[in-house]
Chains A and B, each alone.
Chain A
Amino acid sequence: ELKVEQNPLFLSMQEGKNYTIYCNYSTTSDRLYWYRQDPGKSLESLFVLLSNGAVKQEGRLMASLDTKARLSTLHITAAVHDLSATYFCAVDMNTGNQFYFGTGTSLTVIP
């Protein structure tokens, strides 16, 4: 069974600050996915990272993947209130077409 751990689980940060969310997983995988969920809403895809060393950026969010360390990071630059949401990472096991999600990081950006 593949375990996916995110930390922190809860994050409260001030506007304008930088922070990083971490996603660790327990078995070999070359692909990692980041999603965002607003309260009471569905999930929206942010990034798909498909290889070791992959880095993707969109606005104030940047995601990276280190498959050797089994670690992905989601870096937030100069946070704004609109980034308040829950962020999930997910991993597949290279085979089997199954996806495993982390428990999520609830981010609150305060003025």
Chain B
Amino acid sequence: NAGVTQTPKFQVLKTGQSMTLQCAQDMNHEYMSWYRQDPGMGLRLIHYSVGAGITDQGEVPNGYNVSRSTTEDFPLRLLSAAPSQTSVYFCASSVSGLGDEQFFGPGTRLTVL
């Protein structure tokens, strides 16, 4: 199993550009989530999904969209990038959410100029 994969590993954007961060898992997990990690702030939940076709907002959803058309994939879209979105983004998955350990992808380091 590849586990949780994320692409790209690094990305530089200009303010106002849009892009999609890809996340895929091959463990047949129902729960998938996106976090951003900023220095001194731990991880903050952006969006999550409890199954295909179901998504919901986390703690910091503004400026991001998600969709979950399959169990395996959970892309994160930045609609109009801003410097405040410079961060490291982690995708994670778990069997069903509450009570389960999460498996994290390798992360995407995003810089917005």
How far does the alpha carbon of A90 sit from the alpha carbon of B98 in the complex, in Å?
11
Q: From B44, B100, B107, give the contact of A42 (CB < 8 A).
A: B107
Closest to A97 in B: B97
Instruction: Assess whether A31 is in contact with B42, with CB atoms less than 8 Å apart.
Output: no
**What is the CA–CA distance of A44 and B102 in the complex, to the nearest angstrom?**
8
Do residues B90 and A103 form an inter-chain contact, with CB atoms below 8 A?
Answer: no
Give the distance to chain B from A93, nearest Cβ to Cβ, in Å. 9
- A38-67: CB near B (< 8 Å → 1, else 0) gives 000111110010100000000000000000
Q: How large is the interface on A (under 10, 10 to 19, 20 to 34, 35 or more residues)?
A: 20 to 34
Chain A residues, CB < 8 A from B105: 42
Q: B48: which A residues are within 8 A, CB to CB?
A: 97-98
Considering the chains assembled together, what is the distance between the CA atoms of A88 and B92 in angstroms?
15
Tally of B interface residues using CB under 8 Å: 27
State which of B40, B45, B92, B100 has its C-beta within 8 Å of the C-beta of A98. Answer: B45
Does A103 lie within 8 Å of B59, measured CB to CB? no
Minimal Cβ-Cβ distance residue in A for B58: A98
Number of A-B contacts (CB under 8 A): 56
Nearest-Cβ distance from residue B92 to partner chain A, whole angstroms: 8
Interface residues of B in 14-53 (CB under 8 A from A): 31, 33, 35, 40-45, 48, 50
Q: Determine if A45 and B102 form an interchain contact, defined as CB atoms under 8 angstroms apart.
A: yes
Asked if A43 and B90 sit within 8 Å, CB to CB, the answer is yes
Contact B90 A99 (CB under 8 A): no
A97 CB to closest chain B CB, in angstroms?
4
Do A102 and B42 contact each other (CB < 8 Å), given the known contacts A42-B90, A97-B31, A97-B48?
A: yes
Tell yes or no: B64 within 8 A of A by CB: no
What is the bound-complex CA distance between A31 and B56, given in angstroms?
21
**Residues of A close to B92: CB separation below 8 A:** 43
Contact present for A45 and B103 (CB under 8 Å): yes
- B→A interface (CB under 8 Å): 31, 33, 35, 40-45, 48, 50, 56, 58-59, 90, 92, 97-107
